[in-house]
Structure 1
Amino acid sequence: MVGNQPVIPGFHPDPSVCRVGDDYYLACSSFEYFPGIPLFHSRDLLHWTQIGNALDRPGQLRLPPDTLSSGGLYAPTLRHHDGRFWLIVTNVSTDGNLIVTATDPAGPWSDPVLLPDVHGIDPDLAWDDDGTCWCTVAGVRQYRIDPTTGETLGPARAVWSGSPGAQAPEAPHLHRVGDHWYLLIAEGGTERGHSVAIARGPAPDGPFEPCPDNPVLTHRGTHHPIQNTGHADLVQAPDGTWWMVFLGVRPGGGTPGWHVLGRETFLAPVTWADGWPVVGEPVSGPHPTDGQRDDFDDAALAPQWISPRERPAAHCTTGERPGWLTLHARGTSLDAPDAVFTGRRQQHLTCRARTLIDPAQGRGGLAVRLDEQHHYAVEAGPGEVRVRARVGSLDPVVATHPVPPGPLVLRVDITPTKPLDSRTGPDTLTLGVEEPDGTFTELASLDGRYLSTEVAGGFTGRVLGMYAAEGTVHFDWFAYEPLE
């Protein structure tokens, strides 16, 4: 069914997909968050379940405290070759390009093999018939490599770099289809001008001729509700049909339009005409209405929980107080790069997040985070709840509310706003506390545009979660539910 719903909603950009038998696997960028590179499984390309993260051990992923927001891991490529899964990705903050492998995409994945002589982001892997491995990076430049050692087997070679005058040729993916090798790239920048172009040649290193109908996918200059479309990958289904996964955003509000969930993964059918792909309208993904609740009864956190840069057990554990998540503060607030925070991606334009917190030994709360300089939080300490709104250099306490001692429920409701004029923001965040009798006390209602990429910049999306700002705080459960 044609529609505007992503197949993997929320901050899941730069999708790369492969198929093994009847099973599809997909990886996305994770930037400054640990664990890194979420991995998904599907049988129909529409319904995806996260099965793990490729880089889920500190030894695999180095994101030191000075890692900038929107730094870290960029643009993986996921492939299956010779009985193994191969994932190549760029850690722009430390290690550069690296490869990990696994026999089971749910993990465990290997320790990284570094590629110190491969320069450029968005690396791709492809193997030709004689077993040569080709690594193509943004630019677009190409290397022959030994993927088991990370050694380059010759100098980089420039290949087709996109449409004349188009900026930022990136996200290359090589695919063998029939007698041709197709080089798929993104170009035009990751904002409203984003697009997908393609060329073909007789060999992995070309020479490449561009498609006469480039770009094969773009929504620039249109009123389509999905914008910034680009960074795509191709996959063939068992029935012979072809499909494209790609990123896009759903801006809301007035001019210029603000997207708050980050770049999401969409799906479109592909047909072929005169040897070139023709991309159809996006196919609507599922629209789940069931809520998700975590009671923190397991020893390890579920794979959707992420934290900025690292998540040491000394500061984040479910083992200290059984059935509770315990956070020990390190930074003094969410502004600090070493803040103790763990959350999950916001995946619906209308949703509610709630958590039961025991702040008797410290101060912490429930936050909506975009980065260190852009977040809203309802924060509990002994005897008081307050709402903080960090926007750039401003960090006011916008409301306070006395509360009795003991655990209490904090809540954030996120609802789209109807545009009143061209200046209306995309949504409203209502923060408050649930009283012992179950009634909700609203403490603040804040404009969501300030937690958007158009205001904050960067490449990520909102993450909803729990944090500790002082001492020790315990969380009995966290509940997330769509309200659409």
Structure 2
Amino acid sequence: MGVIPLPHKKTVALIRVAIQAGGFCSRRGLQELQTPELQQLMTDAPRTGKEQPRSRPVKSGAEQPILPGFYPDPTVCRVGEDFYLANSSFEYFPAVPIWHSKDLLNWSQLGHALTRRTQFRDGFPWPSSGIYAPTLRHHDSRFWLVTTNISDFDSGQILVSTSDPAGPWSDPVFIPAARGIDPDLCWDGDTCFLSWRTLDPGAEHGLLQARLDTATGQLIGSPYPIWQGSGLHGPEGPHLYHIGEYWYLLLAEGGTERGHVVTAARAPHPWGPFEPCPRNPIFTHRSLGLSVQNTGHADLVQTPAGEWAAVYLGTRPRGFTPGFHVLGRETFIAGVTWEDGWPQFDEHRYDVPVPCTDFVDDFTAPELHGRWIAPYAEPETIADHVGTSGLVLPPVREGATGLLCTRVRDHEWTAEAVIEDGGLFSVRLDDRHWYGVHLENGTVRAEAQVGDLHQQLGARLVTQGELVLRIESLPPIPHPNTYGHGGPDDILLSVDDSEGRHDLARIDGRYLSTEVATGFTGRMLAIGSGATSARVRSVSYRAGIG
């Protein structure tokens, strides 16, 4: 969490509430608080041991993601006792978060794989563009990650490597002869095989494979088709594994929506010929009335004890039909057993601790925390540190979003930004779907953008000085109709000034869902400027209702 020497009275009040509610995972990062009031808060707070994290609720892995929020397309590998995981990240930079775990259940972020624009070239600034599904593997004492930048499509796949997954990762090796998405790497001895879903214009779409020179990005020989799936829509996300006497191929099929499934085939060689599993699909939630939907895009890993597990993506839709998922596609875990030589998923094997997602960021650290990313831009070009005074965000230049973003990771939450002079605090799904609280020229406005419609919903004149802009996700207001308005939540926009709290607007949350806005991402909190600069003193987030 970092050191938080904030004397601001509203920040103190926020921390008091969080501590009393058990909202902080540990006291590490609060030990060096400078203000006497905050030191006393820590002294008075109940303790659960010698600086140990507080106990967390545990839920079945069938319902609880190991990485809640917009962390889709998981890929995993193990080195010794350690597990490493990566996710796709689309238009946001830096890209491809990298995670570490000792037990597959508790994960800490090491950094990002793509942190330089030479690795993630600028392209068209469209929502759900950028970096698609990666594959993370360890071979010959190095970590290898291959992925696609859909905004730089003609460069083909991107291959980077490192000896330390925390980075830095190498300069990219481009593979222009393999244009498409969802690349996979595997090795048979010293021979590397690249498999991918081709989207090359003018060519037949499907799953291709070729031998790869990892040093140059050149394909050795012509690409050839491999197993094309069980016949469902959109076979993609291939992953190959040498297990026992067979090479197993896992695919995602049915599209990444409600029909998503995992299918499997096996062969004596990486290139085939492949025999499909007689029980395909081997895992799906399609047509089942479960709280988690869209399950698929799985990757297998073996534990040091010899057991098998799989990470996969899923969504948690809420509200009336068709259901609205707002956090994006999240990362889940399942156990894997083997029957008659085929993998079977056991989604109830693991009890998953609910991660602590709370944070308070006062921006006094020398660098931005890794939670802050930016759409179509580099975070360091959007905000300037000003010592112990937070961030200054210059006026947005033409054609830019000028936003710093961090993932929303819970269904009910409260977030606050302490700002002065001006600025925008918003929750967004993309550029055309967001709600926010905007301070400009002495007026705070609640605004909503839904598609081409931009609406001011409420306003308040305020005096100069620091204000707290607040966004909350709340359960929908009950309605005489059995199903109410049918949305997944309400978003409440408010401001605290010298006269207290003022609610400005309460809005149906369905318009910030994938089912309305489309795309592959999830809700993000965003801070930004506008025609004038913004000064942000702190941003806080906590799970649950304020």
Q: Which residue pairs with 1:71 in the alignment?
A: 129
Report the counterpart of residue 49 of structure 2 in structure 1: none
**Secondary structure at the residue paired with 1:450?**
helix
Normalising by structure 2, what TM-score?
Answer: 0.84
Q: 1:40 aligned to 91, 96, 99, which one?
A: 99
Matched, 1:82 2:140: yes
Matches within 5 A, 1:438-449: 439-449=500-510
Distance in structure 2 (CA, Å) of the matches to 1:278 and 1:179: 18
Q: Corresponding residue for 1:117?
A: 177
* Residue 143 to residue 290, structure 1, CA distance change in 2 (3 Å): closer
Residue 353 (structure 1) aligned to one of 405, 415, 436: 415
Amino acid corresponding to residue 192 of structure 2 in structure 1:
C
Distance 1:331 1:446, change over 3 A: farther
Q: Distance in 2 between matches of 1:445 and 1:169?
A: 41
The residue that corresponds to 1:152 in the other structure is 219
Q: 1:387 to 1:284 in 2, by over 3 A?
A: farther
Partner of 1:373: 432
Question: CA separation in 1, counterparts of 2:517 and 2:91?
Answer: 15
2:522 is equivalent to residue 456 of structure 1:
no
TM-score (norm 1): 0.95
Superposition deviation, residue 286 in structure 1: 2.1
Q: Matches of residues 72-471 of structure 1 in structure 2 within 5 Å?
A: 72-94=130-152, 95-129=155-189, 131-138=190-197, 139-164=206-231, 166-282=232-348, 283-289=350-356, 291-311=358-378, 313-318=380-385, 320-331=386-397, 338-359=400-421, 363-417=422-476, 420-421=482-483, 424-436=486-498, 439-471=500-532
Specify the alignment match of 1:481 in structure 2.
542
Q: Kindly, what percent of the aligned residue pairs are identical?
A: 48
Q: What is the alpha-carbon distance in structure 1 between the residues aligned to residue 502 and residue 295 of structure 2?
A: 40
Deviations 1:337-367 (A, max 9, x none): 51110111110001111111112xxx42211
CA distance in 1, matches of 2:382, 2:227: 48
Query: 1:120 and 1:289, CA in 2 relative to 1: closer, same or farther beyond 3 A?
Result: closer
Runs of 4+ in 1 over 6 A off after TM superposition: none
Distance in 1 of aligned mates of 2:484 and 2:465: 45
How far the C-alpha of 1:289 sits from its partner, in A, is 4.8
Displacement, 1:290?
Answer: 6.1
Change (3 A) 1:39 1:323: farther
- Cα pair 1:76 1:87 within 8 Å, conserved: yes
Q: Is the 8 A contact 2:93 2:379 kept in 1?
A: no
Does the aligned pair in 2 maintain the 1:39–1:53 contact within 8 Å? yes
Amino acid of the structure 2 residue aligned with 1:127: W
| Residues 157 and 176 in structure 2, CA contact (< 8 A), matched pair in contact too | yes
3-state DSSP of counterpart to 2:135: strand
Contact 2:403–2:526 (8 Å) recurs in 1 = yes
CA contact (8 A) 1:13 1:263 kept: yes
Number of residue equivalences? 472
**Quick one: structure 1 residues 119 and 422, their matched pair in 2 at CA, closer, same or farther if it must change by over 3 Å?**
farther
User: 1:59: how far off?
Assistant: 2.4
Tell me which residue corresponds to 1:20: 79
Offset at residue 465 of structure 1 (A): 2.0
Structure 1 or 2, whichever has the larger Rg, is: 2
Cα deviation, residue 457, structure 1:
0.5
Gaps of at least 5 residues in structure 2 are 1-58, 198-205
Whether the 8 Å contact between 1:58 and 1:310 is mirrored in structure 2 is: no
- Hey, what's the Cα distance between the residues in 1 that align with 2:420 and 2:322? 41
On the 8 A contact 2:71/2:328 being kept in 1, the answer is yes
How far has the Cα of 1:155 moved from its partner?
0.8
Which structure shows the bigger proportion of residues in helix conformation? 2
Alpha-carbon contact 1:136-1:142 (below 8 Å) kept: yes
SS of 1:175's partner is strand
AA partner of residue 89 (structure 1): T
8 A contact 1:255–1:422 mirrored in 2: no
State the Cα deviation string for residues 207-228 of structure 1 (Å, max 9, x = none). 1100011101100000011000
CA change 1:284–1:10 in 2 (3 A) is farther
